[in-house]
Amino acid sequence: MSTRTRAADHDGHHLTVTADDGVPIAVREFGPADAPLTVVFVHGHCLRTESWELLRGYLQPRWGEDAHMVFYDHRGHGNSGMADPATYTIDQLALDLDAVLRAVAPTGPIVLVGHSMGAMTILAYARLFPETIGTRIAGVGLLAGAANSVTRVGLGRLLNGPAVTSLRVAVRRAPRAMAASKHFTRHIFEPIMREASLGTRKVSPRVLAVATAMLNETSLLTMASFLESLMRFDETATLHRLGAIPALVLAGSADVVIPFAHSVVLASQLDDVELVRLDGAGHSVIMERAQEVAAAIATLVDRALAALANPGERPRGHEPECGPELAIAG
């Protein structure tokens, strides 16, 4: 059973939720717990709660006391505890998400917003806990995500290469040694990931510094152990479960990690969906274009609240005259 401890902090409330297998999950809350709606943000691979900081800066003043915002670090990331590498799977992350929800949002409607691996975690959660979709879960935001085939296009194709295969074997054979390999992570992976995560527009030094710091602080063990689950990931059969609730699918046109084509496929399988393409944005769209992403999430929340207020009606996503995709130029 999950448990929680809480301590007040000037920057929200810091909590520790204990996952069902005993791993401590670091959580941060903003806004009243009894707000009309809880919005839970699920970060991506090798990131942490801080990846949402710029976006939160736009949403918190907008929502004020009307929303309960929850951010947390995945196991092996940020301030959450390390775990057995065998548990570094997307299904386990979905179970951790359930533990967080039970601890910090046991009642009331919830909107889930996930970036990259966080979006995949939400899809896995929908499969493992289908009874919550349309009851507890009132809306989903899938940012720079995919339902499957992440190794077929974009940078994901490198996951099938011999170097990554060797890395995965090394992690399985010597996890302790790999866990201490931050120096190797920094010098080998950081330049690749930095270039892959950013789009065609010039990115501010602050955004670059935050992204690099999070990558540097993620152990090679964590980075590599999730790769196999990412490679096998396929939730195409889950998408129909989301048809009953409003959805946002958003990504950058210059994302080479999970190309925008994945978002088009995702959106095509959802009924009440808004598809947003941010021209020139890369995989780190939530930091590169925080203001625009925040606006899209705010619209999703408005749609979810409208659906809750009018359960007999099913409001559609934004559909401009040019078709179901809303493009925002850089």
305 versus 207: which is more confidently predicted?
A: 305
pLDDT digits (tens, 9 = 90+) for 53-97: 999 999 999 999 999 999 999 999 999 999 998 999 999 999 999
Q: Residue 177 contacts by C-beta under 8 Å, 6 or more apart in sequence?
A: none
Helix 290-309 and helix 53-63: axis angle, to 10°?
40
Helix 190-197 and helix 205-216: axis angle, to 10°?
140
189 versus 226: which is more confidently predicted?
A: 226
The residue length of the chain stands at: 330
In contact, 300 and 275? CB cutoff 8 Å? no
Q: Range with the lowest mean pLDDT among 14-18, 47-51, 91-95? A: 47-51
Q: Per the structure block, which two tokens stand in for 106?
A: 């046991």
pLDDT digits (tens, 9 = 90+) for 111-162: 999 999 999 999 999 999 999 999 999 999 999 999 997 766 655 555 555 5
Sign of CA dihedral 271, 151, 49, 202: negative
Domain count, the chain: 1
Range of the domain at 297: 3-328
* Mean pLDDT over each residue of the chain, to the nearest integer: 82
Q: State pTM to two decimals.
A: 0.84
* The pLDDT of residue 196 is above 90: no
pLDDT at position 21 is 97
DSSP of 63-110: HGGGEEEEEEPPTTSTTSPP--GGG-SHHHHHHHHHHHHHHH-SSS-E
DSSP 34: T
Highest mean pLDDT among 167-176, 182-191, 239-248: 239-248
Torsion (CA) 85, 221, 80, 230 in degrees, nearest 10: -70
Q: H or E stretch including 184?
A: helix 182-184
Q: What is the CATH number of the domain that holds 217?
A: 3.40.50.1820
pLDDT digits (tens, 9 = 90+) for 296-308: 999 999 999 999 9
CA distance 9 to 154: 41
Burial class (CB in 10 A: 0-12, 13-18, 19+), 142: buried
